[in-house]
Amino acid sequence: MEERAKLKTSKMLKRPASKLTKPIASSSKSSKTSPLDLKRKVQSQIKVNPVLKDSNSKYSIDNQENSLRPYTGAPHHRRVKSDPVPNSPYIPLKKPTKNTQAVKKTTNASSKPSRGHRRTNSDNENLKKIASNHFFISNTEEHDKDQIIESIRSSFLMGIPFVTTIDYYKIGKPLGKGAFGKVYLGVHKLSGLRVAVKTIEKSFMQDERTRKKVFQEVYIMNKIHDKNVIRLLELFESPRHLMIVLEYAGGGDLLQLLRARGKLSESEARPIFKQIVDAVIACHNEEIIHRDIKLDNILLNEEMTLIKLCDFGVSRVAKPGFKINEQCGTPAYLAPEIIVNEGYEPFFVDVWSMGILLYALLSATVPFKAKTIPELHKIILRGKYIFPDYFSECVKDFITEMLNPIPHLRIKLNDLKKHAWFSVDTLDSSFHSTKDSYTPNRHNNILNALREYGFLAEFVESSLKNRDINHATASYNLLDINM
């Protein structure tokens, strides 16, 4: 017996190691499963469950001791749709709910959140992006308006002067760029009306000369109240900028008009030039010379019925008979007395520039041209220019009277509309349809609107009388312009 036991033990030691790992049989049906069947079963399970193929998987059959607890290591791969979904009992699979689908849909700019979806921060960001493209958010605008009205009312109740901030306006797309800043399209939040907001960086206003120039322009614009002059509405500061709010003219300028459609006929130019004369008269009545009258400083309203004289950057207050020595303006429009640089009487130079402008309206070019500034100055001082053949004799005479090189022999500003060229009744342009801005009860209607904005009528009346620049006068003037 002992020899048989030794022989059996020696045979077992000679067997391969794999046969020593034979599973222990149990009392269940699986005890009848042969090793070969078990191997096939495992291989079939591997085919069904690809995750089990990876020995590094968090549910790998080689990691049996950790198989019942979730893996806490850093993931190496984020599952995508093309990846197979594991069916391990330790990874609960959830079907996508309606809410998760709704969140995905809100990422589309054109879709709305589905019913039953609570908006998330990411949804709000998407809505802001969409709204910025469309420029207006009605609910936000209404909320901002209510807050501004409450702030104004609280200021009057507490006796605290209110101060305009950038929150009173909505800033939109840029309209242009100047030497010291940019001009943006804006919206006056109380009325919803559009304005132009000129921003000047404070870093450019460090020296006294620049500050004086900026505030001189503000002072001059505040003196002139005329339908043919762009209106100053308000002035306030932000941390980095000085903000000048102006009337918005959405029809472009005369230079853009000529580039788009070419020269104008005399019947088309006549009502436009008549309004330009009215604008310059309004300036001279306030003892202001413009000194930069040109095509691109004449704006048009959106209806193409009104012109607006703008850009008072080189304008100044002057007295008749008082000589000025400053040289400024656009080279092609400069009067000879400015070029001579021996001092000039102020109000004649605007009439010269108006003669150049009328010539340009009718021909889409200027009478004096040269490749260099010195050559241009010589041509202007010589006073020689050629009229196109299609100019009428009447308009030739009119322009000649304005372009007289001797200032005192130039036609007077107040005599311009008396010239025979204006006596022609052919008005082919929409500009002749401009009507007087006065309407019955206009003032009272505007005051009633301002009361709804939170302003006291007495405060508005006093501010208008003193020509104060604040949000009350800005709101009044803006409603007055657009009524």
Active site residues: 292
Q: How far apart are CA 276 and CA 278, in angstroms?
A: 5
Burial 104-138 (b: 16+ CB within 10 A, else e): eebeeeeeebeeebeeeeebeebbeeeeeeeeebe
Among residues 280, 230, 222, the alpha carbon closest in space to that of 411 is found at 280
- Does 177 show up as a binding residue in the annotation? no
Instruction: Tell me if 433 sits within 8 A of 305, measured CB to CB.
Output: yes
Residue ranges of the annotated binding site are 198
Residue ranges of the annotated binding site for ATP are 198
